[in-house]
Amino acid sequence: MALSFYQRRKILKNVNYLDIIPYRVYKEEIDEKGFVTILIPKFKREFANNYLRRIGKPLDIRIKLDEFGSETWTLINGNRTVTDIGKKLVSKFGEKIQPVEERLTKFLTNLYLQGYISFNELKEKGN
């Protein structure tokens, strides 16, 4: 059963943000420069997708990420904590990404609020 907004908020309030483990909800495309485009299906029903296919329209909404966002997205694998992701970003970008914890938590919060990622802690409590 899916958790309600209040249940999710209660779980996330009681954990250290840097210790939680994000995972991707949607698929992505990576171009030759390493930039990520998140692919969000327009419709969940197959009949709507078949209609879009027939008339030649794209099946996905495409969200393009910048250099930092793309690297963060590729580091989200469902096994790394936010702290681990931050350390890898610092090792790759150095001072360009400072303050990494603030920027990373804000970015991940935005991804979560848009529904592009979720957290393992929510998946574990939801079952």
The per-residue pLDDT for 127 is: 45
Predicted local distance difference test score (pLDDT) of residue 124: 66
Low-confidence ranges of the chain (pLDDT < 70): 1, 47-49, 51-53, 124-127
- Beta-carbon contacts of 93 under 8 Å, excluding residues fewer than 6 positions away, are 68, 71
The architecture CATH gives domain 5-126: Alpha-Beta Complex (3.90)
Contact 97, 70 (CB under 8 A): no
Amino acid identity of residue 81, one-letter, is T
pLDDT at 75: 93
Condensed to tens digits (0 to 9), the pLDDT of residues 5-31 reads 777 777 777 778 888 899 999 999 999
Domain locations along the chain: 5-126
pTM for the structure as a whole: 0.81
